[in-house]
Structure 1
Amino acid sequence: MAFEFDTATQLAETDTPGAFTGRFSHDWAIGPAVNGGVVMALAADAITRVLGEGETPHADPLAFSAHFLSASADGEMRVDTEVLRRGRTFSTAEAVITQTGADGAVQERMRALATYGDLDVASPVRRSVEAPAMPGPDECVDAAKARTMGPMDVPPLMHRLDLRLDPATTGWALGRPSGRGEMRAWIRFADGRDADPMSLLFFLDAMPPVSFDLGIGGWAPTLEFSGHVRGRPAPGWLQMQTRSATLTGGLMEEDALIWDSRGVLVAQSRQLCSVRIPQGWTPPA
């Protein structure tokens, strides 16, 4: 069986070492733009291919930092990688994703710097953040059955996911945002594919923007993302929590945590997002 995420993140080698081609699909879009998590996953896979070879293979993303320079669109894409350091424990590489427009101009979409290693060696749990208490998936709100995902229509991306929202943090979907800037949910792929380290980078950017809970509509494009993969996820549901505490001008930070079906923290991130604040907006009471 070909899973949707695997099809969306397929890469083909080119004649240039460390360079690959693929295709972005509108099936993974939010409005006109392809989800940034898919863009990062393609870059992560390309880096895995170049760092997963050699005498000291490092195939697992540990730290991934990305700057988004323009919106990725449905169509052909290219990712070029450069190995910056190969070490015995960690290796570092850069990935640049580009697309060629109808006018022939090459546009850079994202530039990422990532450190790779071996999660089986690097992730014994010594101390960790516990998952928040929340109802099980069957007791949460199925986003696919909701009429709306807050102040905007359901984007194609959400049909690729099985997303169950904690009823305690879904007031925004009913037009009653809490103003706390927090969401909690169970999440997995809709077609049954289990998560792996590469897809954790996608999931870290897959939730509805936490700005919805602040009463701010519209999607929140990512400007910069810094993520850490802390463990290899067990099969089953992922539990997510996203929060934001600071809104200055049109910029908001969004912090995300992911636990696997064992309750083990497997990924975390912080991203800086751009939000359009409506005229006359005031924080919900």
Structure 2
Amino acid sequence: MSSNNHERVSEIRASAFEFDRSIELRPDPVGSLSSWTAQLGAGWRIANAVNGGLLLALAGNALRHELDGDRGHGDPLSISAYYLSAAEPGAARLSTETLRAGRQMSTGQVSISQDVGGTRVERLRALATFGDLPPAGDAPPSWTAPEIPPPEACVRASEAPAGLLKHADFLERVDVRLDPATAGWATGRPSRRGQIRGWLRMPDGREPDPLLLLLAVDALPPVGFDLGLAGWMPTLELTTYVRARPAPGWLQLALTSRYHAGGFLEEDAEAWDSTGRLVAQSRQLVRTTVPSR
């Protein structure tokens, strides 16, 4: 990675948007050109852990600076992250490495760690391929998004049960609207079909881009809630494919799960932009607890 990429970090710091400030990178004063520091904000917590989508976006930002360079490989195409331990609010260190620099795509890895009682604990490690995504509107046609009510007719996150809001500071950072047909779990009536659908935008007007898509695929409540599950459901692994740069406006999200057994379930996410184009897909493996009664 060239020193020019470190100089570009200063451009991010001037952002007026909270998301950009939350994935801000600073050169590590005691590390190499591939080492960074960041500050994980308490406002992005679910329970006591920082949201996995925010961590994925932070990892993607570090790899963007690592892999972009003169080749123009600044967009995540595919990123697979393993969540090794729960990240806490506070300082974090990121280390990146270029594994392959090609003409059309480059591949790298990133590690996020935190100091815990004098011991460095790794929180996330990801492997990703970056390239140059087609602009909004140039993506090939995709299958149609499911029909859901418009955002103004959906359930706001602020209307969630008080017990959930108490442990989800993250919901104050995003504007989430849930399809009423998939929000019965919030009042003790899960459909048990394994489906949650809704809309997402940033409340401060920050428009979606490829890095925000990495947050979006993990922004809705866990699909396990609609299966009648309760309690902490940590992500073990999350793979995301970004298909195109999204157009401005609301993102439409759909979560599904087809298989839950042995204390694990898969959660598939799809994201469409305001033009109806599929812009991201993901699958994550989730550890579950006992069903709710």
- TM class, shorter-chain normalised? over 0.9
Distance, in Å, in 1 between the alignment partners of 2:122 and 2:57 is 16
Aligned partner of 1:263 in structure 2 is: 276
Unaligned runs of 5+ in 1: none
Aligned partner of 1:85 in structure 2 is: 100
How far off its partner does 1:10 sit? 0.7
Instruction: Report which stretch shifted further, 255-264 or 138-147.
Output: 138-147
Distance, in Å, in 1 between the alignment partners of 2:87 and 2:156 is 28
How far off its partner does 1:127 sit? 4.1
Match of 1:133 among 147, 151, 176: 147
Aligned partner of 1:65 in structure 2 is: 80
1:35–1:160: structure 2 CA closer, same or farther, 3 Å change rule? same
Match of 2:216 among 203, 206, 212: 203
Structure 1 residue identity aligned to 2:108:
A
Structure 2 residue identity aligned to 1:3:
F
Determine helix, strand or coil for the equivalent of 1:201: helix
Mapped contact 1:164–1:187 kept (Cα < 8 A): yes
1:214–1:121: structure 2 CA closer, same or farther, 3 Å change rule? closer
Structure 2 residue identity aligned to 1:33:
A
Structure 2 residue identity aligned to 1:42:
L
Instruction: Report which stretch shifted further, 62-71 or 183-192.
Output: 183-192
- Provide TM-score, normalisation by structure 2: 0.90
Q: Determine if the alignment matches structure 1 residue 7 to structure 2 residue 21.
A: yes
Structure 2 residue identity aligned to 1:183:
I
Structure 2 residue identity aligned to 1:8:
S
Q: Determine if the alignment matches structure 1 residue 17 to structure 2 residue 36.
A: no
Aligned partner of 1:273 in structure 2 is: 286
Mapped contact 2:136–2:246 kept (Cα < 8 A): no
Mapped contact 2:137–2:247 kept (Cα < 8 A): no
Match of 2:63 among 47, 51, 60: 47
Structure 2 residue identity aligned to 1:13:
P
Aligned partner of 1:98 in structure 2 is: 113
Mapped contact 1:231–1:267 kept (Cα < 8 A): yes
Match of 2:174 among 138, 142, 161: 161
Distance, in Å, in 1 between the alignment partners of 2:265 and 2:162 is 23
Unaligned runs of 5+ in 2: 1-14
Please give the root-mean-square deviation of Cα atoms over the aligned residues, in Å: 1.8
Structure 1 residue identity aligned to 2:94:
V
How far off its partner does 1:123 sit? 8.9
Match of 1:37 among 34, 42, 53: 53
- In the TM superposition, 1:119-268 aligns within 5 A as 119-120=133-134, 124-148=138-162, 153=166, 155-268=168-281
Paired residues, number: 277
How far off its partner does 1:249 sit? 1.0
Distance, in Å, in 1 between the alignment partners of 2:233 and 2:51 is 11
Mapped contact 2:92–2:113 kept (Cα < 8 A): yes
Structure 2 residue identity aligned to 1:254:
E
Once the two structures are aligned, what percentage of the paired residues are identical?
A: 48
Mapped contact 1:148–1:173 kept (Cα < 8 A): no
Mapped contact 1:209–1:219 kept (Cα < 8 A): no
Distance, in Å, in 2 between the alignment partners of 1:128 and 1:80 is 36
Distance, in Å, in 2 between the alignment partners of 1:93 and 1:118 is 15
1:105–1:123: structure 2 CA closer, same or farther, 3 Å change rule? farther
Mapped contact 1:149–1:173 kept (Cα < 8 A): no
- Provide TM-score, normalisation by structure 1: 0.93
Distance, in Å, in 1 between the alignment partners of 2:198 and 2:162 is 16
How far off its partner does 1:221 sit? 0.8
Structure 1 residue identity aligned to 2:22:
A
Distance, in Å, in 1 between the alignment partners of 2:129 and 2:137 is 14
Structure 1 residue runs of 4 or more that deviate by more than 6 Å after TM superposition: none
CA displacement 1:33-63 (0-9 Å, x = unmatched): 0001111111110110111112x22000000
Distance, in Å, in 2 between the alignment partners of 1:12 and 1:277 is 41
